[in-house]
Amino acid sequence: MLRREFLAVRNRLTADDLREAAGALAGRALELPELARARSVAAYVSVGSEPGTLALLDALHARGVQVLLPALLPDNDLDWGAYAGEGSLARVQHGGKMALFEPSGERLGPDAVTGADVVLLPGLAVDGRGMRLGRGGGSYDRVLARLERAGAHPALVVLLYDSEVVERVPAEVHDRPVDAVVTPSGVRRFQNSA
């Protein structure tokens, strides 16, 4: 129910709203010290009314940062490939789910994410504890568990619209807090995250 409410608000955004928010989001994210010093960033390509990521991906790539993008596996886990500009993306339809833009080149394996300095996470909301509400598919829960098992501690940053920073979202035992949220109007850091 909560996920549907956030998606309904996103679906009311106009093309101009999306374009303006994507530019502001990229500018705010690029100011993060974690991204300024990152050599490798795991990110994603936004689809539909998600906060836009292409401008950010292009800016990171232009800086010489290795940008890893996910490719959805049949079991909802994620493999990874390198981003080399918008031409390196392929539109992939996954059954009845939405089409995703995935890297068209070599697959680096699900563990490639463990070498990232920063992991940019999609979401629908984040609360004051840094708990992220995802879409419910579990793909990024697997990524976070993989990072934990590997002893990897990248900065975890969720990209959202301003209205999606809320007081409280439901959390389960396996959920992990993020370090920061970036919205078009700014950055908020969370004290209690690892």
Mean pLDDT by 10 residues, the chain (194 residues): 88 93 95 95 94 95 97 94 93 82 95 98 94 88 94 96 93 88 95 55
- Determine, yes or no, domain membership for 178: yes
Domain count, the chain: 1
Identify the CATH number of the domain in which residue 153 sits: 3.40.50.10420
- Write down the pLDDT at residue 99: 84
What's the CA gap between 147 and 71, in Å, rounded? Answer: 17
The predicted model scores a pTM of 0.93
- Determine, yes or no, domain membership for 194: no
How far, rounded to the nearest angstrom, does the alpha carbon of residue 190 sit from its chain's CA centroid?
17
- Write down the pLDDT at residue 192: 58
The DSSP bridge pattern shows strands 132-133 and 125-127 to be antiparallel
- Determine, yes or no, domain membership for 12: yes
